[in-house]
Amino acid sequence: MIAEVSCTHLDSFLEKIERRSLTAGIVGLGYVGLPLTRLFTSQGFRVLGFDIDAKKTEMLMAGESYIRHIPSSEVAEMRRDDRLLATTDFASICQADTLSICVPTPLDKFRQPDLTAIRETAEALTPHLRPGQLVILESTTYPGTTTEVVLPILRRSGLKLGEELFVGYSPEREDPANPHFTARTIPKVVGANDPTSRRALESFYKACFDQIVPVSSCEAAEMAKILENIYRCVNIALVNEMKLLCQRMGLNIWEIVDAAKTKPFGFQAFYPGPGLGGHCIPIDPYYLSWKAREFDFTTRFIELAGEVNTNMPYEVVTRVAEQLNTRGISTNSARLLILGLAYKKNVDDCRESPSIKILKLLAERGFDLRYFDPHVKGYRSHRYGALAGIELDELTDEALLQSDATLILTDHDAFDYERIVRLSPLVFDTRNATRNVAEHREKITLA
């Protein structure tokens, strides 16, 4: 009898995928959830989006976007024929056939995993779950989160896992503003801990992605995501440390990396910067290190990489202050213009951006600060509150001329670097953004 019930729920679920009559629920409509919404609607599925931020749901229902790389015209297209409905009412959870959880997983003030959003989301879903639904955790987290944190909460629904309720893990792989990949073309890792959940998850994502990569369990999928990001973290830490050495030796680290990457095998280029940003790479090493302690294992190599990257904003501030002092400009009176708040070029995402930390450190040293980012307006840090300094509405000639120095922290394509170098008395470049500027190079210091 149990097998018949399980088969009935799974067969009904698979039939909805085949007929494109399935309603995909997405919980958390941010930088992961909204691109996933775009993908699901483009594949013919109706999407029911949930977010605790009423402003987001209101904007989506009005056909407006709040993420730069997803234009409002695309949101309006998603809203056509009510293919996208967005709400703050979690009682509507029962109307969705799938529930993709795309909520933040930050660190707390002690740099330990903060799973508050995941727990609260699971608790909000549980009273409204019904037989035949698939719950997918997409948030980046440590191995064991789905099994140890999410499942115990979902079991309160009384639904039998693998028979009435399907649960899996599939880590997000968003790369905002990358023109070479879309959500559909990036291979999707999927994992579940029982055969029925695995089949439901694989069948749904096969209908949405060009390629899925099945692994044996939720834990394996969670660890794969952590490994991806720690790989980047460790290699960025290596090149950041190399940058500091090259500065002492009078060498250009970007020139050296570009030369090394001409080797057709055995080398992948990573570039230094003012620190790590984004929602994954600065955080994931600490998630795994925290979990490893449960197994009496110390991830010394990973923790060292985290320390190197965490220290980079301090190194940038120190270098700027020292270079200004050699020119007789005191940090207590120096007027510094900051260009770029976002954690990477051509996006409006400031999560864990090193620019925010650097602004704070510069303010503590007494700098008179102005800052400008063409993609970010009115940003307020969750950790530090209002940003130090004065935000500019536009990058005027006057702002460049009246500053003692300009500090480039994000290499947006929208910046005219020749103009910036021409008008600024000094330029500190943390991204090698000025590499193609031919004139006035004596003004530029790679920081």
Ramachandran area for residue 334 (φ above 0: left; ψ -120 to 50: alpha; else beta):
beta
Structure tokens at 200: 């439901």
Q: What single DSSP character describes residue 100?
A: E
Q: How far apart are CA 247 and CA 239, in angstroms?
A: 12
Q: What single DSSP character describes residue 67?
A: S
Contact 1, 162 (CB under 8 A): no
Q: How far apart are CA 93 and CA 25, in angstroms?
A: 7
Of 235, 213, 236, 208, which is closest to residue 224 (Cα–Cα)?
213
Q: Phi and psi (nearest 5°) for 211?
A: -145, 130
Which residue in 102, 233, 246, 280 is the catalytic one? 280
**Helix or strand run (H / E) with residue 72:** helix 72-79
Of 371, 236, 225, 338, which is closest to residue 284 (Cα–Cα)?
225
Of 406, 399, 402, 395, which is closest to residue 429 (Cα–Cα)?
406
Contact 128, 54 (CB under 8 A): no
Q: Is 94 a catalytic residue?
A: no
**Helix or strand run (H / E) with residue 165:** strand 165-169
Contact 158, 127 (CB under 8 A): no
Active site residues: 280
